[in-house]
Structure 1
C-alpha cells in the first residue's frame, strides 16, 4: 500500500468487503504503541442505514422516482 501526496491510502477491495466498509464510512487512525490501527468510528451506519441513505440519494438523482413517497418506492422494489 502506498500513501499519496495528500496522505491518502486505498484500503484493498478484499479488506473493504471482509469488513463491510462502504464509501462514506467514518474511520479513525489510532496510534497503538507505534503501530497504526484503522478502526470504524463508533457512529458508523448499520447496513440498513446505508441502504436507506443510498436509496434516498438515488431517489433524487433518478427522474423516474423523483417525487415518489418511500412507500411507493418500496412497492416498486417489491415488484
Structure 2
C-alpha cells in the first residue's frame, strides 16, 4: 500500500466491509508500543446534528454555500 502526496492511504475493501466502516466515518491514529493503530471514533452525533451545530457557529461549517449546496449536503446527493 502506498501513501499519496496528501498523506492518504486506501483501506482495502475487504477490511472496510469486515469492520463495517462507511464513507464519512471518523478515525484516529494512536501510537502504541512503537506501532500506529487506526481506531474508529464513536459517533455521538448524527450527520444532521453535526451539520446544524456547524450552522450555529459551533463547528467548521462553510457559510458561503448557496441554499442548493446546503440542501445537497443534507441529502447526500
**TM-score, structure 2 as length reference:** 0.56
The structure having more radius of gyration, on CA atoms, is 1
The aligned runs of 1:22-37 (5 Å cut-off) are: 22-37=22-37
Give the aligned partner of residue 38 of structure 1. Answer: 38
Moved over 3 A (4+): none
Distance 1:3 1:20 in 2: 23
Consecutive unaligned residues in structure 2, runs of 5 or more: 48-73
Q: Shift in Å at residue 57 of structure 1?
A: 1.9
Distance 2:16 2:38 in 1: 12
Greater helix fraction, Structure 1 or Structure 2: 1
Query: Which deviations, in whole Å up to 9, do the C-alpha atoms of 1:26-76 show, x marking residues without a partner?
Result: 01111112101111002267xxx68xxxxx625xx4xxxxxxxxxxxxxxx
Distance 1:57 1:39 in 2: 27
User: Is the 1:26–1:44 contact (alpha carbons within 8 Å) kept by the matching residues of 2?
Assistant: no
